[in-house]
Structure 1
Amino acid sequence: MNTPAALTLEAPAEHPFAPFVRILGKGKRGARNLTREEAREAMGMLLEDKVEDTQLGAFLMLLRHKEESAEEMAGFTEAVRERLTAPAIQVDIDWPTYAGKKRHLPWYLLAAKCLAQNGVRIFMHGGGAHTAGRLYSEQLLDALAIPLCRNWQSVNEALDTGNLAFMPLQDWAPHLQRMIDLRNTLGLRSPIHSLARILNPLGARCGLQSIFHPGYQSVHREASSLLGDNSIVIKGDGGEVEINPDTLSHLYGTTAGVGWDEEWPALSARRHVKPASLQPEHLLALWRGEVEDSYPQLALLSTMALALRGLGTPREQAFEQAQRFWDNRDTSI
């Protein structure tokens, strides 16, 4: 009678990315933040397609639930920057635009356009229309004659010609764009929406960041400090880099890694009534001087002042300079 052969059981090897998921998801007592080095390594694996889709989703949502730390943001940023192939392009302001607007038009676009007319070199980037019901920068570039660039050479040429360029995230960090696009699959925004704001891929003199959710502004400022960057973080209108003139604005700044704070008072005694609908034609009308409108003019002037503040101009002088720029703008498109 033949004796059945003994079964040989061998446990499968653990996936190299599994430890990072375990660190974040080991329960209330066992879970912890990633160190800066762990965050750099984990993001490196994500960018090099060395993870399974299930791991990607789990990792992003565990981070979202926990809320990312400054050390994690710094490590993620370093991993992205190490893999960028961007050439050396001189930029004054890095201007991320990822949130989209739903209450007011994107007046920051006019602010950037006016600054560019006055010699401020601005690199804008965004992640597409990922959430329904919002108006995104990409949808208005053509109407406002803001160059849409699909490679770094075009960015350099646009900056040299008119000091303003917009490049979609998908063209310089496609892996991050893919993670952002998971928003409608996962049901929540992931930390990549925040990460894109801190990247400053061309090493601009100052990176402007808008973080809407309370508490995250100081985390972003701390991450910029760890990276040794110059930046200003605000709670901008709708999550975009745009000062809301109806409320007090707190600036979370960092210069050469040293943090500072500044509060700007509201510019209007009363809150403005938000428009019933967003009409992009109103952007053009205001730029051309065909209409006057208190809210957008205050919003774009203070946003211009914010950028000038980031370049080292004191607040009062920044507002005076912004007003001169606006009064003397070339109103043609």
Structure 2
Amino acid sequence: MAQHPFSKFVAILGRGKTKQRHLTVEESREAMEMLLAGETHPEQVGAFLMLLRLKEESPSEIAGFAMGSKARFDLPDDLPEVDLDWSSYAGKRVQLPYYILSALALVGAGYRVFMHGTEGHTPGRVYTREVLEHLGIPVCASFDEAAQNIRATGFAYVPLEVLSERLRELINLRPILGLRSPVHSFTRMLNPFHAKASILGIFHRGFMDIHAGAAQLMDEPAMSVFRGDGGEAERRPNKPTQVWTTRGTSEPEVETWPALLDDGHAPKDEEMDIARLGTIWDGTETNDYATRAITGTMAIALKTMGKAASIDAAQALADEIWRTRDTGRTPGAR
């Protein structure tokens, strides 16, 4: 029986501690293109993903997987310019997703934001899609619709199944395999509309150098990664935040952003009522934790985009954007 073409990738990862190695960018890209094209057996998919999980992904693998995925996107010929790519794949369980208000405030200030993500893979979390639908912001069903929304409103949210139905199937293997897979990591790096900057949140501190290294290999123009609340791109205002920023192939700039609140403890939101996001936006509710999370997250985005030269200047600009927002209108809504 002839050896299956995909088996070489499983063999590289599974040869044991002394012989296994990381996949190169080229190998990772080829492997992902085969996975997305359906040129693999289910047994190979499970073995491949879990061997990667056991070994832990490398920058070359994250970069190759993202590049292989992007190669299969059927994008419009005339892409709109996008200022910021915002990935959202984790969901929130302790605090409301205040990062959504950060993104919308930036849109209200004239920046164009492309957000992509998924939901439902982990029970008990609040995901981006349900919040946007509650706020009356459309969820895009195609790349063409996303391009139209960016041009019309400055904002688009595209769920993972629109980017790639196969990637959505792979990320939904989590309850079957019992562990997260590399799909949870590299989807954050997709930047489908080639935005000039991107920010992403991670849950495990050890992945910051991996994502930063992948961004260098992909020659991303500007990307910041930090340990965000719940794994989302949301700054925790009660804790110092280490941010790794890469620009092209240059070495990462590592900065520690200070805590914005004196109290180091963030109480759990027992209700997680997404309706409160609307009242925080329109100013009906004043919440210091929420405000600091919103503006602190904006500040990281603004500095990543090159709109501020220092942490203090970025925070001052973010505070001004939030103070002068149009409380009577939700950006991106129709």
The structure 1 segments of at least 4 consecutive aligned residues displaced by more than 6 Å after TM superposition are: none
SS in 2 for 1:261: strand
Encode CA deviations 1:99-132: one digit per residue, 9 max, x unaligned. Answer: 0000100000111111101111000111221110
Give the root-mean-square deviation of aligned CA atoms. 1.1
TM-score, normalised relative to structure 2: 0.94
Is 1:47 equivalent to 2:36 in the alignment?
A: yes
Residue matched to 1:254: 246
Encode CA deviations 1:266-294: one digit per residue, 9 max, x unaligned. Answer: 11111232322211121111111111111
Aligned equivalents of 1:101, 1:190: Cα separation in 2: 19
Aligned equivalents of 1:255, 1:32: Cα separation in 2: 28
Match of 2:178 among 166, 187, 204: 187
Aligned equivalents of 1:317, 1:26: Cα separation in 2: 51
Report how far residue 226 of structure 1 moved. 0.9
Instruction: Write the mapping of 1:201-216 to structure 2, written as runs, cut at 5 A.
Output: 201-216=192-207
Report how far residue 57 of structure 1 moved. 0.7
SS in 2 for 1:142: helix
Aligned equivalents of 1:257, 1:309: Cα separation in 2: 18
Q: Provide structure 2 residue ranges, at least 5 long, that are not aligned to the other structure.
A: none
Q: Is the 8 A contact 1:147 1:164 kept in 2?
A: no
* Paired residues, number: 322
Q: Is the 8 A contact 1:74 1:223 kept in 2?
A: yes
Answer with 309-318 or 102-111: which moved more: 309-318
SS in 2 for 1:204: coil
Task: Give the partner amino acid of 2:320.
Answer: R
Residue matched to 1:9: none
Task: Give the partner amino acid of 2:325.
Answer: R
Instruction: Write the mapping of 1:73-112 to structure 2, written as runs, cut at 5 A.
Output: 73-87=62-76, 88-112=79-103
Task: Give the partner amino acid of 2:65.
Answer: F
Residue matched to 1:7: none
Task: Give the partner amino acid of 1:331.
Answer: T
Aligned equivalents of 2:5, 2:203: Cα separation in 1: 34
Q: Which protein is bigger by CA-based radius of gyration?
A: 1
Residue matched to 1:22: 11
Q: Provide structure 1 residue ranges, at least 5 long, that are not aligned to the other structure.
A: 1-11
TM-score, normalised relative to structure 1: 0.94
Q: Is the 8 A contact 1:245 1:302 kept in 2?
A: yes
Is 1:224 equivalent to 2:215 in the alignment?
A: yes
Identity among equivalent positions (%) equals 41
Residue matched to 2:256: 263
SS in 1 for 2:97: coil
